């Protein structure tokens, strides 16, 4: 499946791009992260501490064990600091 | 039915004008509570800029959900959440919330709730630039802990 992946804040800076489209068969967010980590050092670095990373599937906050079935847009970002 | 207004914008807003307009002319509303967040300088006056990044699309959805959650918990006539993004300097207004209700207790509680959820459930990130460099503002454990109050 084709997924749009978005990165925000320091994840965007470390990976070096705000969004990309990937072709993947990863069943869960965690599996997708493993695929990304294996790609290049900058991904491995950005995803080295998942406690510091949040994920949204189609603009809803989810957990790393969430299924990617039917997903179109995945976003990775640090804990939010609004207000 | 609660009238909910969500605005996410780069341009400045007039806090006084927003307050004056909010719930104006309603006869079912006895109380309005407003809160405004401002870019605060560091104690050594080192802050040059605060850049706010957000996730267009998800931001509006998240803010709308937070406002609707507040409206199910308290009897509110109106809710406004306004949040800016982009580069801001110390003293500039970042965001505001306003709540309107028949009585003050509900308006106060709802405004407090909105702010707690805005801090850690709306996709905004702050980057501060000081004389010595720039860095992302880290989320505080206390922000997450604050949600358990509700």
Please report, for residues A4, B34, B61, B132, the alpha-carbon distance to residue A7 in angstroms, rounded to integers and kept in the order given.
Answer: 10, 33, 18, 26
- Cβ-based interface (< 8 Å): residues of B facing A: 37, 53, 55, 57-58, 61-62, 83, 94-95, 115, 118-127, 136-139, 143-144
Helix (H) or strand (E) holding B32: strand B31-38
Question: How close is the nearest chain B Cα to the Cα of A39, in Å?
Answer: 25
Q: Band of the pLDDT at A3, cuts 50, 70, 90?
A: very high
Mean pLDDT over A54-77 rounds to 97
Angle between helices B58-73 and B104-121 (to 10 degrees): 150
Helix (H) or strand (E) holding B92: none
Residues of B in Cβ contact (< 8 Å) with A11: none
The rounded distance, in Å, linking the Cα atoms of A81 and A70 is 29
B87-114 residue pLDDT tens: 999 999 999 999 999 999 999 999 999 9
CATH number for the domain that contains residue B105: 3.90.1170.40
Residues of A in Cβ contact (< 8 Å) with B124: 80-83
Q: How many domains is chain B built from?
A: 1
Question: What is the rounded average pLDDT for all residues in chain B?
Answer: 96
| Residue B127 structural domain | 3-149
Contacts of B81 (CB under 8 A, 6+ apart): B5, B6, B7, B63, B66, B67, B95, B96, B97, B114, B118
User: What ipTM, to 2 d.p.?
Assistant: 0.94
Percent of chain A with pLDDT over 70: 100
A82 and B139: CB-CB below 8 Å? no
Residues of B in Cβ contact (< 8 Å) with A82: 83, 95, 118-124
CATH superfamily of A2-77: Beta-grasp domain (3.10.20.30)
> Could you tell me the residue ranges of all domains in chain A?
2-77
Residues of A in Cβ contact (< 8 Å) with B39: none
- Cβ-based interface (< 8 Å): residues of A facing B: 6, 8-10, 56, 59-61, 75, 77-83
Please report, for residues A2, A27, A34, the alpha-carbon distance to residue A42 in angstroms, rounded to integers and kept in the order given.
Answer: 22, 23, 13
Residues of A in Cβ contact (< 8 Å) with B143: 81
Instruction: Assess whether pLDDT exceeds 90 at residue B44.
Output: no
């Amino acid at each position: 499946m084709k997924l749009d992946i978005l990165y925000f804040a320091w994840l965007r800076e470390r990976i070096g791009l705000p969004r990309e489209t990937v072709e993947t068969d990863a069943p869960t967010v965690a599996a997708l992260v493993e695929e990304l980590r294996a790609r290049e050092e900058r991904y491995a670095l950005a995803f080295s501490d998942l406690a510091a990373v949040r994920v949204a599937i189609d603009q809803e906050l989810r957990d790393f064990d969430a299924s990617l079935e039917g997903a179109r847009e995945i976003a990775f970002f640090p804990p939010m600091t609004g207000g | 039915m609660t009238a909910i207004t969500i605005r996410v914008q780069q341009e400045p807003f007039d806090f006084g004008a927003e307050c004056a307009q909010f719930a104006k002319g309603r006869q079912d509303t006895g109380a309005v509570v407003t809160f405004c967040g401002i870019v605060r300088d560091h104690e050594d006056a080192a802050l040059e800029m605060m850049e706010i990044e957000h996730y267009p699309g998800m931001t509006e959805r998240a803010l709308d959900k937070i406002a609707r959650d507040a409206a199910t918990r308290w009897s509110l006539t109106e809710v406004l959440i306004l949040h800016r993004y982009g580069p801001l300097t110390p003293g500039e207004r970042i965001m505001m919330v306003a709540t309107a209700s028949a009585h003050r207790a509900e308006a106060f509680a709802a405004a407090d709730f909105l702010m707690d959820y805005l801090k850690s459930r709306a996709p905004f990130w702050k980057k501060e630039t000081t004389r010595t460099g720039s860095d992302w503002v880290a989320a505080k454990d206390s922000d997450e802990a604050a949600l358990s109050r509700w």
